[in-house]
Structure 1
């Protein structure tokens, strides 16, 4: 069992065709604003046999499966270890959030080692990831008026600011609201979204919200400029050695 989910996901892990190094919960449950009808987003890393990467067949580096179990829709996406680590080195905030998620379904020594290596890929340029995603979600909110993209907008901006200032990956919006100078109405939006996955919020003060989003963009820019994070990843060689060792160890 894991926090906030009354379902046992261990059988899901056991069904996978290749060993999973880890599986965690991502999405709205990780971000702190799930609805009663939210999907359960499972993310992780599988380990292909070395022969699959050496032969002529195209390796199945990414696997995706969606199905219903325990009355909930489960969405499982895993990458082979090599691909996942390459994504880590491309300033990809998603994979860091998945790797470091506290909502753990399956873990082991390789997961713990990889998590310990994560700081070696974090750079000041991760701000671009969060800035770009915020722009996309804000446009979606302007088009639909739904709470989900609005909360994503606030979540990624605050995660980016927190990362630039502390070097810590923190995707949980309620925690970020407590730690940073965030709009005071966000908890009310979270409560409204909990009632309905694709709901709207009547009476939103959109000019005020737009001003707050712009303020957070400026705060992210300032945090990036002042960040002590390195300009480039420092952990490439350690990650290379890790991938080789785990692959050859099977």
Structure 2
């Protein structure tokens, strides 16, 4: 599949007259627990030619294959490919956008060219905002807990939609860094040995075995932990007071340098 993904990336470059700087896996495969029929959630960052940016009109800054954009070659139906234009990505990086930071930490890199991504990684710790990331993960955890885990019967995979952001929040509290994208790294570090950890281990094994859509009686030990930690993180985020230097000038220069490196 990787060979096909790279083929798709190169065709996107040709069809849309751009250069791709980076492409990675961002979904359950990157999290470390894909099911047998999981999609490939490919995310990429790209840059246009200089003249594209010299316009009085704001232009569309995403590419979505096969959603809103077509491609001149056949794309595997398991592929979901979406990209952000570089200035959009840099604005989100400035805001410490968690999905983007997760892309940069993906262990499944399909394609990387030029020096831009390595330069972003080099300044990640300077830009990282615990407050911004905590709010993101807390909002995700609260919404998913409310929507998926309140019924008497719950699908196995839905637990991970709440466990993952809660544990990411706990990681930020303890380490003040971007959490690893791999679920098990965060899980093993944040949950102590005991009945809770054993229950999650069993769920994880079953999800990997393809049982993720099974409806089963709600697991109280997990629900109680999640409810308690969501309440705790809501209070914790109010206490965070960390100032960060505005990286705009640095990111502006990175953008200009990228244009020169890619198109000169």
TM over 0.5: yes
Q: Which of the two has higher C-alpha Rg?
A: 2
Partner of 1:11: 7
Q: Which runs of 5+ in 1 are unaligned?
A: 1-5
Task: State which of 185, 199, 210 in structure 2 corresponds to 1:196.
Answer: 210
Which structure 2 residues correspond to residues 137-216 of structure 1 after superposition, within 5 A? 137-142=144-149, 145-166=154-175, 167-181=177-191, 183-184=196-197, 185-196=199-210, 199-205=213-219, 207-216=220-229
Aligned equivalents of 1:129, 1:197: Cα separation in 2: 28
Given that 1:141 and 1:147 are in contact with CA atoms closer than 8 Å, whether structure 2 keeps it comes out as no
Residue of structure 2 equivalent to 1:3: none
Q: Are the structure 2 counterparts of residues 164 and 121 from structure 1 closer, same or farther at C-alpha, using a change threshold of 3 Å?
A: farther
What is the aligned length? 241
CA distance in 2: counterparts of 1:186 and 1:102, whole angstroms = 23
Q: Is the 8 A contact 2:141 2:165 kept in 1?
A: yes
The aligned residue for residue 118 of structure 1 is 124
Deviation at 1:65, TM superposition (A): 0.5
* Number of the residue aligned with 2:71: none
Q: 2:108 aligns with which of 85, 103, 106?
A: 103
Deviation at 1:128, TM superposition (A): 0.3
5+ residue gaps, structure 2, are: 67-73
Counterpart-to-counterpart distance in 1, 2:86 and 2:255: 7
Mapped contact 1:156–1:171 kept (Cα < 8 A): no
Give the C-alpha shift of residue 114 in structure 1: 1.6
Q: Is the 8 Å Cα contact of residues 9 and 20 (structure 2) preserved in structure 1?
A: yes
* In 2, Cα distance between equivalents of 1:81 and 1:59: 13
What's the offset of the Cα at 1:105?
0.6
CA shift digits 1:127-170 (9 cap, x unpaired): 10100011122223137722333202101111122123221331
Of 130, 134, 141, which residue of structure 1 is paired with 2:141?
Answer: 134
| TM-align CA RMSD | 2.5
